[in-house]
Amino acid sequence: MTCVYVALALVVLVAVGVIAERHRTRRIAAGRVGETFDTFVAGFSSGDAPPEVLRAVYAQLQDWCSDAVDAFPVRAEDNLRRVYGLIEEDLDDQVLAVVARCGRRLAPAERLRAITPVETVRDFVRFVAACPEVAEPGAAADGPRP
């Protein structure tokens, strides 16, 4: 019977955590009313990244927040851990998805080490922009992780 109570307590804790995270995400979005992809792009210099990288990162992070907010307003200075709750494993998955989404592949490890750690959305954009394009967009990305 004790196991049932422990399991129930864990389920309740997880549910409360998910609800709190969604509430926090909605609160952040409410403070960014009127911000769009154009606002996001304005946070970068013209040579920081190609448009397809900016679009892919923005779309991926909006998808990540879609369970709480339909169109989360992403900012270049957002901390990936604090704002999006991305831990290392999640970030690896997001990087791979974005690299594939914009037709790139991971660069060699020595080149990527120069642009890590990836802590902010700006870092994320720079990381992906440093990855070489593949001949065929949507091709699988393999190689070292951030």
CA count, 13 A, side-chain hemisphere, 102: 26
Q: What tens digit of pLDDT does each residue of 35-52 get?
A: 999 999 999 998 889 999
pTM of the model: 0.76
Which residue type occupies 96? Answer: L
Above pLDDT 70, what percent of the chain? 79
pLDDT > 60? residue 18: no
